[in-house]
Structure 1
């Protein structure tokens, strides 16, 4: 969709945007933190990756 990569395909739907994909996978795999503070730390890491 939108000619962008990466793309995550789920149940026939295609979802672009690396940050959205990273956050989705973190939630699905329970890697997004056990509480709000851990989730914040994970978000900081993901956002820092985007800035690089």
Structure 2
């Protein structure tokens, strides 16, 4: 029988259990600033990979 891996927060790497959603966790556990920094870092990483290819 296959098991489903728990969802992990990409910012703090907390595994979400039970009925909680990633969206609820992000809103409740992280500031807007931290979320913005994560989005900026991911976007910059994507651009860096595009240039090097």
By percentage of residues, which structure has more strand? 1
Bigger Rg over Cα: 2
Q: Same fold per TM (> 0.5)?
A: no
TM-score by length of 2: 0.39
TM-score by length of 1: 0.40
